[in-house]
Amino acid sequence: MLKAVILIGGPQKGTRFRPLSFEVPKPLFPVAGVPMLQHHIQACVKKLPNMKEILLVGFYQPNEELNRFLLSAQQEFKIPIRYLQEYSALGTGGGIYHFRDQIVAGGPEAFFVMNADVCSAFPLADMLRFQKEHGEPSGFVILGTTSNRIQSMNYGCIVENEDTHEVLHYVEKPSTFVSDIINCGVYLFTPDIFQHIGAVFQKNQQDMLLEEPSNGWHRAEAIRLEQDVFTALAGQGKLYVYKTLGFWSQIKSAGSAIYASRLYLDQYHTSHPERLAANEEGGPKICGNVYIHPTANIDPTAVLGPNVSIGTGVTIGAGVRVRESIILHGATLQDHSCVLNSIVGWDSTIGKWARVEGTPSDPNPNDPYAKIDSETLFRDGKLTPSITILGCNVNIPSEVVILNSIVLPHKDLNRGFKNQIIL
């Protein structure tokens, strides 16, 4: 029997994903046509037949959208899915430790822990086989992948024994190069992991005995798997790394959502070919991988793709060109408009002959180990050139040009903008 825990964070996180996270919790943002979380859940159910329960752990307030997603996912995948709300941000280790009784209920032999903001092929069955073949049965497994030397310092770095794949050393975001094997944010644990997290909790309590007790319990329970647990476990014969050759990326910024959408759309050829649009008589021209929701209304003279995702109720007029973009629920793209490297927000409108274009933030195509850089909104006091984001209910008038900008509602746009945040 297996379980899975997906760490979804909370509203204080995901600042690099704004303004999109203002309208919907980041884990529910649609990537390749379905909520980000659904890719995780689907991998758990389809790849692990003995998966019995999936738990979401975070500190979002339960709301109608989250509840609707949970109900829909349970009905689709025929598996119990529950949300466990933290009273505060407890970290990647503190959250699962706080809910350890719910996780071990029913006696699972092992459980997966997955960060919600990663995009992956999720080789969960391979990790399970790897755990049984390497080390002791109670060993823990980190999913790892290879990065280039410079970018590796932005991740948790793993030094392994090349013969046994035991983790000998672990450093989170080192200041100098340590290893090109990085942590992917997907773990396989046995219930024994709670002994090690508990030891960190007890140490935190002891360290705080001389401090003000008012908030001591919360501060002691805030535990990071990476810095507090993996660093201590490394070299003890308990922690192993399974290196995947499949695709993987973080989804920290809005630009990385478009890149993740490309990776998932490409995977659909084998996992969900029915989700990919095809060229048909009387339909729009499809170039490459494109997802179109059945409720979308698209003029047959439109040209879509590659890497385009069209949400529910979207209307696309004659002669529209869309490439490398995500068009969200209820948006309207009027005749002859052009959308490139952009995210068009819910219920937004782009006028006739308007152009909305951003700068892609893809990894270096000439480096097979390059990862996407999750840029901050600003660098050196200026807006970082990236994809263009239109927030909810934005209206772009006809013939306006928007380049590398973040556009929120409440502003009447009648001219072009470049490299700006428009409130």
pLDDT value, residue 254: 82
Q: What is the pLDDT of residue 266?
A: 97
pLDDT of residue 320: 98
Residue 236 pLDDT exceeds 60: yes
Angle between helices 193-207 and 91-98 (to 10 degrees): 110
pLDDT band at 423 (very low <50, low <70, confident <90, very high): very low
Residues composing the chain:
423
CA distance 49 to 415: 55
Which of 75-84, 193-202, 313-322, 401-410 shows the lowest per-residue confidence on average (mean pLDDT)?
401-410
pLDDT band at 15; cut points 50, 70, 90? low
pLDDT (0 to 100) of residue 408: 73
Is the pLDDT reported for residue 419 higher than 80? no
Tokens of 175: 């200041």
Q: What's CA 46's distance to the chain center, in Å?
A: 19
**What's the CA gap between 241 and 207, in Å, rounded?**
31
| 167, pLDDT greater than 70 | yes
Beta bridge partners of 239: 140
Quick one: pLDDT at residue 139? Answer: 85
CA distance 151 to 157: 10
pLDDT at residue 366 in the model: 83
Which of these, 92, 91, 266, 119, lies nearest to 184 by C-alpha position?
A: 119
Q: What average pLDDT does the segment 47-69 reach?
A: 92
pLDDT band at 413 (very low <50, low <70, confident <90, very high): low
- Identify the pLDDT of residue 180: 94
Comparing CA positions, the residue from 26, 206, 204, 188 lying closest to residue 96 is 188
pLDDT beyond 60 at 418:
no
DSSP code, position 251: -
Which among 27, 246, 294, 286 has a CA at the least distance from the CA of 146?
A: 246
Q: Which residue has the tokens 């306006």?
A: 400
β-strands 421-422, 395-396 pairing: unpaired
Pair of tokens at residue 104: 């071990």
Which of 153-162, 224-233, 343-352, 380-389 has the least mean pLDDT? 380-389
pLDDT tens-place string over residues 397-412: 998 998 887 787 655 4
Residue 217 has what pLDDT? 47
Give me the pLDDT at residue 87, please: 86
What pLDDT, on the 0 to 100 scale, is given for residue 216? 47
Which pLDDT belongs to residue 33? 95
pTM of the model: 0.91
* Mean pLDDT over the full length of the chain: 88
Beta-strand relationship, 308-310 and 401-403: unpaired
Write the DSSP assignment of 182-218 as a string of letters: EEEEEEEE-TTHHHHHHHHHHHHHHHTTTS-STTHHH
Instruction: Set out the domains of the chain in order of their start, with CATH numbers.
Output: 2-250 (3.90.550.10), 278-418 (2.160.10.10)
Q: Residue 12 pLDDT more than 70?
A: no
Instruction: Name the CA dihedral angle for 359, 363, 365, 368, rounded to a multiple of 10 degrees.
Output: 180
